[in-house]
Amino acid sequence: MGKVGFGVAVGCAVVTCAIAAVLLGRRVQSRRKWRRAVEMLQEFEEGCATSIGRLRQVVDAMAVEMHAGLASDGGSKLRMLLTFVDNLPDGNEKGTYYALDLGGTNFRVLRVQLGGRGSMILSHQVKHHPIPQELMSGTSEDLFDFIARTLKQFVEQEDDGSEQKVDEKKELGFTFSFPVRQMSVSSGILVKWTKGFSVEDAVGKDVARCLEEAMTKAGLNMQVAALVDDIVGTLALCHYYDKDTVAAVVIGTGTNACYVERTDAIIKCQGLLTSSGGTVVNMEWGNFWSSHLPRTSYDIALDDESPNSNDQGFEKMISGMYLGDIARRVLYRMAQEADIFGDDAYNLSIQFIFSL
């Protein structure tokens, strides 16, 4: 019995040592995996680093592009589009106004009642509507017909008790957040789509006219009184509350900026006259690019695999539509090289699964 007991004890010890060795090996392997994962994160952080000196170089590069864009069309990555908006709201406006905001995978319809200085915004209603994926790459007629029908439903629901006459044509502010060559304050030609839209037959058309035709077809008595980019709308709203506001920046699904420029500084439109001596310029800075920007291998891969490669470089680095996929690419590489996510790593291979 003594020998048997001794043998059992030795066997247990061997098994225990083997288990301990396996556990220790796994722990060492796990530490190596996490160490590699941390190394990759540090590499990414270093690749994104922007010192004060580097930021100044980016600022200088953008200033050069701005001047070039004001001098001539096509002379810069910044389009520096004229908006024909030379006067901004100041809080004295009164009445009921409608607005349509189209600039991403959702659009908004709004109705606001303004009471002038002192009371300002008396009431407002807003509704959000998702745009079906097939309409983002279909025809312009289908897209604008869908928007017009939705707008009509909203107007009919919100018009109860309105002071406006039934037969009176309502005016609409149309926020269209894509590059447009403005022809007047209420009309503009679509230059190109961004943010995942590819309704090709709309390019080169007056988008305000497209919407008005769709509203007429839907039986909606309304006309576009102002066509602006969402960045111009942002500037207008801020100026409504603070008349010292002269610039605005949007970082959302996409990114853009605008500001009030002196008309005599816009060389490509010599002789442009405005009552205020200035006009709002839509920079379209999503297309800005400089070698001083901290572009990583993940940014390069995203751009190469996008439908608009070598376009909207700045937007792809900082806007909500793309940041989620940059994060996915970092995590996917960690999953491949460090194997820290196990079987769940498969989902990380799906593009834009983390889109914000």
Task: Name the pLDDT band for 247 (thresholds 50, 70, 90).
Answer: very high
| Annotated catalytic residue 77 | no
The per-residue pLDDT for range 157-216, each reduced to its tens digit, is 866 555 555 567 889 999 998 888 888 899 999 998 887 788 999 999 999 999 999 999
pLDDT per position as a tens digit, 84-115? 898 899 888 888 899 999 987 888 999 999 88
Surface-to-core class of residue 76, CB atoms within 10 Å of its CB (0-12 exposed, 13-18 middle, 19+ buried): buried
Task: Please tell me which residue in 145, 230, 299, 325 is annotated as part of the active site.
Answer: 230
d(CA 50, CA 293): 8
Helical spans, DSSP H, in 229-352: 230-241, 297-305, 313-318, 320-338
pLDDT score of 276 more than 80: no
**Quick one: pLDDT band at residue 340, thresholds 50, 70, 90?**
confident
CA 54 to chain CA mean position, Å: 25
pTM here is 0.77
Measure the CA–CA gap between 205 and 209, rounded to whole angstroms: 8
CA atoms of 94 and 115, how far apart (whole Å): 5
Condensed to tens digits (0 to 9), the pLDDT of residues 14-60 reads 444 444 444 444 554 567 778 888 888 899 899 999 999 999 999 99
- pLDDT (average), residues 281-309: 92
**Could you say which architecture CATH assigns to the domain 36-79+286-356?**
3-Layer(aba) Sandwich (3.40)
Q: What share of the chain is helix, strand, coil (3-state, %, to 5)?
A: 45, 20, 35
Question: Do 36-79+286-356 and 81-282 show the same overall fold?
Answer: no
Is residue 283 within 8 A of residue 259, CB to CB? The reply is yes
The predicted-structure confidence for 122-141, as pLDDT tens digits, reads as follows 888 999 999 998 999 899 99
Rounded mean pLDDT of 319-337?
90
Annotated domain spans of the chain: 36-79+286-356, 81-282
What top-level class would CATH report for the domain 81-282? alpha beta
R_g (Cα) of the chain, nearest Å: 28
- Catalytic option among 77, 170, 192, 195: 195
| 244 flagged as catalytic | no
CA-to-CA distance for 195 and 105, rounded, in angstroms? 8
Measured between alpha carbons, how far is 220 from 112 in angstroms, rounded to an integer?
18
**13 pLDDT tier (thresholds 50, 70, 90):** very low
Note the pLDDT of residue 57.
Answer: 97
